Chains A and B, each alone.
Chain A
Amino acid sequence: ETGVTQTPRHLVMGMTNKKSLKCEQHLGHNAMYWYKQSAKKPLELMFVYSLEERVENNSVPSRFSPECPNSSHLFLHLHTLQPEDSALYLCASSSTHSGNTIYFGEGSWLTVV
């Protein structure tokens, strides 16, 4: 079992749809992250939650809406996306006691048509 689980692994959605990505971590960590990975670009940090409180929002468009109901679960709600939002969305988690290392899930491949 991987420490960070993401569902769905693949998602195709139209520009008018509403969908959600889900992430669950089984590592007892207290911080969770959403990253976006596009071809030939560095990983882009989108949101950070520490102790279930959002501590960072890196100028992400409002069509992406995160939710962190508890320290083990993280959602990314998607609505009225654009084709350029097609990417791999990675969830990650870390602990203030594990140094500076973060642990990633397998990612959710999103295609916006």
Chain B
Amino acid sequence: QKEVEQDPGPLSVPEGAIVSLNCTYSNSAFQYFMWYRQYSRKGPELLMYTYSSGNKEDGRFTAQVDKSSKYISLFIRDSQPSDSATYLCAMSGRTNFGNEKLTFGTGTRLTIIP
């Protein structure tokens, strides 16, 4: 079983729709959860970072963590064509040298149709 499972898509939705992206994980030691956005032929950029269970909102983006179900989500409201990208979930526990080792999902490729 993979430590982090993420549906690779592709996912296509019309402009203005609400997008829901999800990851499940098996390692209960994971405490920190991140979403990265990666445009085509670019490096991933950090989009959202959460620590505890619950919701965190930043503009049109909401990150949700449910540690009891080992399930995280990223919601995008009022989706725009510029949101078309691959979204990677990432998570970590704590390593012994202080810098965290991230475990990534495979990424979900999202296309917003104008």
Taking beta carbons and an 8 Å cutoff, which residues of A are in contact with B? Answer: 4, 6, 30-31, 40-43, 45, 48, 50, 55-56, 90, 94-96, 99-107, 109
Contacts and interface: CB of A to CB of B under 8 A. Distances in A.
B71 interface: no
Chain B interface residue bracket vs A: 20 to 34
B43 interface: yes
Given A42-B105, A99-B32, A107 B42 contact: yes
B92 interface: yes
A30 B92 CA distance: 18
A106 B34 contact: no
Interface of B: 2, 4, 8, 32, 34, 36, 41-46, 49, 88, 90, 92, 97-107
A43 B43 contact: no
B43 A104 contact: yes
